[in-house]
Amino acid sequence: MQTKIVISLAAAALMGCGAVAPAHAAGDLFIYNWTDYTAPDVIKKFEKETGIKVTLDTYDSNETLLAKLKSGSAGYDIVVVSSDFVPIFAKEGLIQKIDGPKIPGYDNIDAKWKSPAWDKDNEYSVPYDWGVTAFTVNTKFVKDPGDSLKLLFSPPEDAKGKVGMFGAPSEVMALAEVYLGMTPCQTDPANMKKVSDLLEAQAPSVKVYNSDGIIDRQGSGETWIHQAWNGDAARTRAVNPDVHFIFPKEGVVGWMDNMAVPTSAKDPDNAKLFIKFMMQPENSAMSSNFTHYASGIAGAEKFYDPAMKDAPELKVPADLKMQFTPACPEAATKLMDRVWTKLKK
Ligand code: N2P
């Protein structure tokens, strides 16, 4: 009985039938999102508007999310998947069709993010935030950082043990490939040998391979140079103004993170309500004001805080080479895994 009431409330709200103010709890929503990627005030507002209780759990990479959903026991209603992994999750049957264009608010998506290469009809996913991957430098310790990925991949002797890299093979390799002038997802073993040699030579300088805790590590000076996403870089600069995001001359990796609903979701209706909520420009901007990543929703900009609007990390130069990683074929993933296993030995 309880379930029925929950579903009809959710369905009513999804159809846009005015304000739903349930007198009792309208069920739960389990969100699994990247670390530091969910704004507390957004969750509070959603809970207040819908009566749905949100529980949040976090992860550090697409690889961790993939392993979790593959384990089958996750129980999450919403996950956030990067553009290069959406086709992989869909192919593996780990996310369900949500028919994005049918969810109210879909029209708010910025035209350039509609029907994207990774999910042509937004069958499985809708945009959340987008950004670019390069690195940050603490100029208190590295006086002249220049504009090359060389600083990250072949750091100077005095930066030994002061470099941080992400903990996800897909993201480490993609940026290494950009540095080496290759396209991501190499299947040519000779090219992957070059990637491997580069990362092996860099390894003695690397303090940690970890995509979590970067704001703390770079903010505190524990690391001087760190692979970084631009939004986290903006947040790090707010903690420590000596930390700067570099747009390297070799280019950056670009990505869009997308909301999706696992096949194993307990409450897909509540998940769609959340997606609908997040496609409202004001709510998406509230999220961006926290994450410091650019929203994929048209009209969100006018609700950005000055800190978000003016962040240099978000001003991607128009002539910068930005490579959106496609979903890597299995052959590429196998080579990456081999390089990664050797690196982490
Ligand atoms: C924020 C996570 C950024 C997501 N910590 C990168 N795709």
Q: How far is the CA of 293 from the centre of ligand 1 (A)?
A: 9
- For residue 256, the CA-to-ligand 1 centroid distance in Å is 10
Please identify which residue in the block is written with the tokens 């949040």. 56
What is the band of 73 on the pLDDT scale with cuts at 50, 70, 90? Answer: confident
pLDDT at 302 > cutoff 50: yes
What is the 273 CA–ligand 1 centroid distance (Å)?
Answer: 23
How high is the pLDDT of residue 26? 85
Q: What span, in angstroms and rounded, lies between the C-alpha atoms of 30 and 49? A: 17
d(CA 296, CA 276) in angstroms, rounded, equals 13
Rounded CA separation 166/174 (Å): 11
Residue type at 51?
A: G
Contact assessment for residue 243 and residue 233, using Cβ atoms and an 8 Å cutoff:
yes
What would the two tokens of residue 209 be? 């391979």
pLDDT per position as a tens digit, 1-37 = 333 334 344 444 444 444 444 444 589 999 999 999 9
Inter-residue contact 261 to 334 (CB < 8 Å): no
| CA–CA distance, 2 with 312 (Å, rounded to integer) | 49
- Contacts of residue 144, defined as CB under 8 A and 6 or more positions apart, other chains included, come to none
Binning the chain into helix, strand and coil, the percentages to the nearest 5 are: 45, 20, 40
Expressed in angstroms and rounded, the spacing between residue 4 Cα and the centre of ligand 1 is 36
pTM comes to 0.92
Rounded to whole angstroms, the Cα distance separating 64 from 146 reads: 33
Q: Return the residue whose CA atom lies nearest to atom 6 of ligand 1.
A: 229
Residues of the chain with CATH 3.40.190.10: 4-130+256-310, 131-254+317-344
Digit-coded pLDDT (tens) for 279-300: 999 999 999 999 999 999 999 9
pLDDT at 208: 98
| Angle, CA 88 vertex, CA 83 and CA 92 arms, to 5° | 145
Distance in angstroms (rounded) separating the CA atoms of residues 207 and 134 = 18
> Which residues line ligand 1 at a C-beta cut-off of 6 Å?
34-37, 82, 229, 232, 255, 257
User: What confidence score (pLDDT) does residue 19 get?
Assistant: 43
Q: What is the mean pLDDT of residues 142-152?
A: 97
* CATH tag, 4-130+256-310: 3.40.190.10
Q: How far apart are the first and last CA of the chain?
A: 55
If one looks up domain 131-254+317-344 in CATH, what number appears?
Answer: 3.40.190.10
Mutate to test the pocket of ligand 1, among 58, 227, 257 (most ligand atoms within 8 A of CB): 257
229 CA distance to ligand 1 centroid (A)?
Answer: 7
